[in-house]
């Protein structure tokens, strides 16, 4: 019985293994797109962004204006690194922490957007643990040495 289960698992692993780099690339690009798009929205309506950071968001440890600038910069810069696969693990870690701060800072988000933030968090964890995959500048730089 166990031999059959092991054989099926081995066959599935062999069949699915080539898809791992695709999964890692899609995860990186998906999360990068979501956060970059959010940063673009903040820049496009900067007055609204400042209003939200001053009156709605409850960012811990930072003055609201500094949080607005740093948060927007993070959403515009870190996704570029993530998408390129450059300094991928540090970028994923920074976005993971940013994602937690976003959830903590905006309790009104929980009923409608918490699942999305959980999904992005898992994708970022996968990137931190497994790395960027084959399609990444990090790998190109590593292979040059």
CA distance 129 to 46: 35
Report the alpha-carbon distance of residue 69 to residue 67 in Å, rounded: 6
Which tokens go with 135?
Answer: 């399609």
> Is 71 in contact with 49 (CB distance < 8 Å)?
no
Who contacts 46 (Cβ-Cβ below 8 Å, separation ≥6)? none
Q: What pLDDT digit, counting tens, does each position of 81-138 carry?
A: 999 999 999 999 999 999 999 999 888 877 888 899 999 999 999 999 999 999 999 9
Q: What pLDDT score does 108 carry?
A: 80
Q: Is 143 or 110 the better-scoring residue by pLDDT? A: 143
pLDDT at residue 144, as a whole number: 86
Which pTM value belongs to this model? 0.89
- Residues 25-75 pLDDT 10s: 999 999 999 999 999 999 999 999 999 999 999 888 899 999 999 999 999
């Amino acid at each position: 019985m166990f031999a059959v289960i092991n054989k099926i698992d081995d066959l599935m692993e062999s069949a699915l293994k080539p898809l791992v780099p695709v999964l890692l690339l899609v995860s990186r690009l998906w999360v990068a797109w979501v956060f970059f798009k959010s940063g673009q929205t903040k820049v496009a309506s900067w007055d609204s962004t400042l209003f939200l950071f001053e009156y709605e968001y409850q960012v811990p440890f930072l003055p609201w204006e500094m949080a607005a600038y740093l948060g927007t910069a993070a959403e515009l810069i870190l996704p570029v690194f993530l998408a390129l696969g450059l300094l991928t693990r540090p970028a994923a870690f920074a976005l993971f922490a940013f994602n937690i701060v976003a959830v903590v800072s905006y309790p009104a988000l929980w009923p409608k957007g918490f699942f999305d933030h959980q999904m992005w968090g898992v994708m970022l964890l996968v990137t931190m643990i497994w790395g960027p995959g084959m399609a990444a500048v990090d790998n190109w730089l590593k292979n040059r040495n």
